[in-house]
Structure 1
Amino acid sequence: MKRLFVLLLLAAVPACQHASAADAGHGPAPLDVRLAAVSLEPIAHPVSGAGLITARREMDLSFKVGGVVSQVRADVGTRVKRGQVLAVLDTTEVSAAVTQATEGLRKAERDLERVEALHGRGSMPLAEVQNARTGVAVAKAGLSAAQFNVAHSVVTAPSDGVVDRRAVEPGEVVPGGKPVFHLSGTGTGWVVRLGLSDRDLFAVRLGAPCTVTVDALPGESVPCEVSEIASSASAGSGLFEVEALLKGGPELRAGATAKVQIARDVKLPSIPVAALVDGRGDAAAVFLVQDGKAVRRPVKVGFLYDDRAAIASGLDGAEQVVVEGSSRLREGSPARIAAATTP
């Protein structure tokens, strides 16, 4: 019995020594992983927004002077040409003002002739001559103002366009300066005005190409370019207004909803989406392999495109990331790089 115990003890010693050697010298077997290169090529990532289609030039038209409207010659939807008369005032009052100013000028000129003649005979001081000359100048200015009011007793189209709104009827008394028509000019083209956040705005430049799609025209897109960028944000929305000028395309209507995509190249490192682990919102992590060990690196995802992720931060100095086998890795896990590397 004692001899059997000794034999069992001697048999166990080599086994223990072998296990201790395995623990001390070898450790867990390394996990096979494949790597993917971190791409530093610019990424085409358009800025998107929505807005309304409007004429590039929009105008509120009004009479310069008030009065009674005698004629209205345009309605909503009327296409007009530059110089076309849209509405006319009754000119009885303004014409009378011209007659009054004309007679006033004639009187001032007669007064001046009389004063100059008296001054020539030495019976009128120079100051009276100067006053008479001033009276003539004032009368001429009054006549010019009256004639200007007559000329502007009509509303004419300042450019080719379409009447979008009419706010006047024949016989109505309107004050000077009150808008009676709203005109969308068609000679300067159509635009889409959209609001962008400051983050998107700084990636947009004047002249950048873009495309416009309209819900009413599915499957069609219209080329455009960025024609204006606001220098300050809107007080109400906090967004910056950007104007996209349309180039050609089908006939459009003011007020139609349009979506705009502005071309933009983003310079961010990108990796395959499969390389990301522990994703939560824009926070995630990737694994690198350094000296045969897995190194976990937290990253911030900028955006996803196709099957790749643009990384906003966290990949400084990294050239390759684990793309296969990362789900089994932990910080410090032994890792063995497979022969093939994913591009």
Structure 2
Amino acid sequence: MTFFRQIPLVTCALLLAGCGAAQPPATEPEPLPVEVVAANPQGDAGAISAVGRIAHQREMTLAFRVAGTLARLDADIGDRVGRGQALAALDARDLVARVAQAEGDVRRSERAAARYAVLSESGAVARARYDDERTALDQARAALRAAAFDRDSAQLRAPAAGVVLERIAQAGETVSPGQAVLRIADTASPLLVRLPVPEGQLVRVRSGAAARLTAGDRIVTGTVSRIGAQVDARTGTAEVEIRLSDARGLVSGMTGTVEIDAPAAGGAGIAAIPAEAVLEAKGSQAALFLLDRQTQRARRRIVRFVGFTGDEALVAGLPAGAQVITSGAGFAADGQRVRVTGGVR
């Protein structure tokens, strides 16, 4: 009985073995189509070029701190002005009236305080009532000072000797507090060039580096005097300031091309690759895929991330002759077979 019970088990085992032998071997997925580019190495030195705007180091936009109708505007574009010179004025009749009312309130409070001082000394009124009148007098005097300050603010004066660059408002206009009326330059401050530098190139700029401005047919030398500490999130650039060696013949508002002598970011080994090749960028590291030409497979690699410049990313740590996967990199896995359909083969 035992022999017959074991026969079905042996038969099943043979059948299963036969089924396993009949299964075809697993096949590797089709190669992923990708495009590659050769990393573009950056030289150890070069020049950063950008269009800059010439301006005085100190240029100021003037506005009234109180609202009103612009009654007088005595300055125009190109006018030379002295420090403290009156440039514009508002119709201040309502402000003058407020001062007069505040002066009357002060006089009335002074009389009341004096009267209650006598009554308090004689005991006719409580000391607390006299203290209340003294507080009211202090408040009236503070209101007078505020009204006088507003009246004086109806005059717009030059904060420094200089030249009028722009006349923004016109007499007869009603202006709001802080609304620009005039823009002037302090001519005692030097003319500079300010230019936007992409964040990827900013690490190459050094304070004191030599620079050249080409404006029209003039070439003026200069040096980097200031490097912006913050990158504009909208433009991806930071402002760099160039102090010129000879600004004769140049005026505020002119533009020109500036070249700054600068070493490659971080020294040798920096390469420019299409920004789309960077899969992840966090801090000073970035991940990308390289093409292994011998095996035709994608190899994930971590490199040092320098920054973006236009449509390119600057990275360091790529081997010589590296071919970077661009299109298709987002679908690749480390070690996956790939098929190059475009770019460098």
Normalised TM-score (structure 1) = 0.61
How much does 1:126 deviate? Answer: 2.2
Match of 2:122 in 1: 121
**Shift in CA distance, 206/220, structure 1 to aligned 2, threshold 3 Å:** closer
Measured in 2, the distance between the counterparts of 1:83 and 1:59 equals: 14
* Equivalent residues of 2:65, 2:178 under 8 A apart: yes
Identity of aligned residues (%): 33
Partner of 2:77 in structure 1? 76
Asked which structure has the greater CA Rg, the reply is 1
Runs (5+) with no aligned partner, structure 2: 1-42, 270-315, 321-345
1:268 alignment partner in structure 2: 268
CA contact (8 A) 2:99 2:144 kept: yes
Per the TM alignment, residue 115 of structure 1 is displaced from its structure 2 partner at its CA by 1.3
Task: Give the secondary-structure state (helix, strand or coil) at the position aligned to 1:46.
Answer: strand
Q: Which residue of 1 aligns with 2:58?
A: 57
Distance 1:157 1:47 in 2: 38
- Alignment check: 8 A CA contact 2:208 2:223 kept: no
Q: 1:95 to 1:219 in 2, by over 3 A?
A: closer
Cα distance in 1, alignment partners of residues 149 and 209 from structure 2: 45
Structure 2 partner of 1:223: 222
Question: Separation in 2 of the partners of 1:220 and 1:242?
Answer: 19
Distance 2:173 2:46 in 1: 55
How far has the Cα of 1:153 moved from its partner? 1.2
Of 138-147 and 160-169, more deviation after overlay is shown by: 160-169
Match of 1:245 in 2: 243
Aligned to 1:45, the other structure's residue is in SS state strand
Asked if the contact 1:268/1:312 (under 8 Å) is kept, the reply is: no
CA contact (8 A) 1:213 1:260 kept: yes
The equivalent of 2:176 in structure 1 is: 175
Is this contact kept in 2: 1:222–1:249, CA < 8 A? no
Q: CA deviation at 1:312?
A: 8.4
- What is the SS of the residue equivalent to 2:224? strand
1:202, CA displacement in angstroms?
A: 0.9
**Distance across 2 between alignment mates of 1:73 and 1:209:** 42
> Closer, same or farther in 2 for the Cα pair 1:107/1:247, shift >3 Å?
farther
- Counterpart code for 2:123: G
SS in 1 for 2:187: strand
- Whole-angstrom CA distance in 1 between matches of 2:241 and 2:156: 29
CA contact 1:212–1:224 (8 Å) conserved in 2: no
Change (3 A) 1:73 1:222: farther
Which residue identity lines up with residue 176 of structure 1 in the other structure? Answer: P
CA separation of 1:200 and 1:149: change in aligned 2, threshold 3 A: same
Question: Per the alignment, in what secondary structure is the counterpart of residue 116 of structure 2?
Answer: helix
Counterpart amino acid of residue 251 in structure 1: G
1:43 CA displacement: 5.0
Aligned-partner residue type, residue 47 of structure 2: P
- Structure 2 CA distance for aligned equivalents of residues 90 and 199 of structure 1: 52
Stretch deviating more after TM superposition (152-161 or 260-269): 260-269
Q: Is the 8 A contact 1:56 1:189 kept in 2?
A: yes
- TM-score, normalization: structure 2? 0.61
Q: CA RMSD for the aligned pairs?
A: 2.7
Task: Specify the alignment match of 1:22 in structure 2.
Answer: none
Alignment partners' CA distance in 1, 2:109 and 2:208: 59
> 2: CA distance between counterparts of 1:219 and 1:112?
73
In structure 1, the gaps of 5 or more residues are 1-41, 270-310, 316-343
